[in-house]
Amino acid sequence: MAKDIYEQNNKAKDLLDQANDILGFNITAIMFTGTADELKQTKVTQPAIFLHSVAIALTSDSFAPDMVAGHSLGEFSALVSNRCLSFQDGLRLVYKRAMAMQKACETNPSTMAAILGLDDNVVEDICAGIDEIVVPANYNCPGQLVISGSIKGIDIACEKLKAAGAKRALPLQVGGAFHSPLMEPAREELAAAIESTTFNKPSCPVYQNVNASPSIDVNEIKKNLIAQLTAPVRWTQSVRRMTQDGARTYIECGPGKVLQGLVKKISPEVEVSSL
């Protein structure tokens, strides 16, 4: 993971070497040669994805975005790529976020499920009618919405949603109910870290998960970033708004092409690519 960038680009090598010092352990060794189980460690997964994304964005001579957005964790990468956060501060916040989320998961065992083939409003209505914590968490694209909540709540919701016509209701292999009220302890912990971190005026607007709206206001960006842990990721709405505001080419930075696929399902008329 990111080994090719590390070996081919001195700027990327410097950033990734810095990451080992900042985190206090050799994350690059795990990224380059670690097992799947090692990469799934909470302290590794989120920083590793962040590092892969920003190493691509910050070391490309051709990367000059007019607007940025990130899906969940990716919002931190987006804020580094538009210079709102320094690389070092972004990494520290991502690590703090990962550890706070892990602690919240251990306190309240919980989970998530992907619901395919239903309109968003149907999923919202069914979740609202369940007497357990279960909420929409990721609006990924039309017909694909991830729900989040207590284990019992997710079980009940999956049955009700399949009965309502969902093509699939797939429990996800995740550590807990991300982007739900069950992340409140993590939100409080992350809030303190965000408030004590320097945010700079960004070079371009960031379209944030919480409200799918553009912002260059530092205080608003911080407030929305804090709220993100317990609020849904409005990716469908964000891409629609970005397209409406003139985006014609979306460039994905990081491992894989998942977001390119989602963007094409949301706005088929746009171009997608990766660095």
The catalytic residue among 72, 77, 148, 180 is 72
Does 179 qualify as catalytic in the annotation? yes
User: How many angstroms separate the most distant Cα atoms in the chain?
Assistant: 54
The catalytic residue among 71, 81, 110, 179 is 179
Q: How buried is residue 37: exposed, middle or buried, by Cβ count under 10 Å (0-12/13-18/19+)?
A: exposed
User: What is the residue-wise DSSP string for 186-220?
Assistant: HHHHHHHHHHTS--PPPSS-EE-TTT--EE--HHH
Does 52 qualify as catalytic in the annotation? no
Provide the CA 110 distance to its chain's centre, in angstroms: 18
Spell out a b/e string for 226-254, using b for 16 or more CB atoms within 10 Å of the CB, else e. Answer: bebbbbbbbbbbbbbbbbeeebeebbbbb
Q: How buried is residue 165: exposed, middle or buried, by Cβ count under 10 Å (0-12/13-18/19+)?
A: exposed
Residues annotated catalytic, as ranges: 72, 179
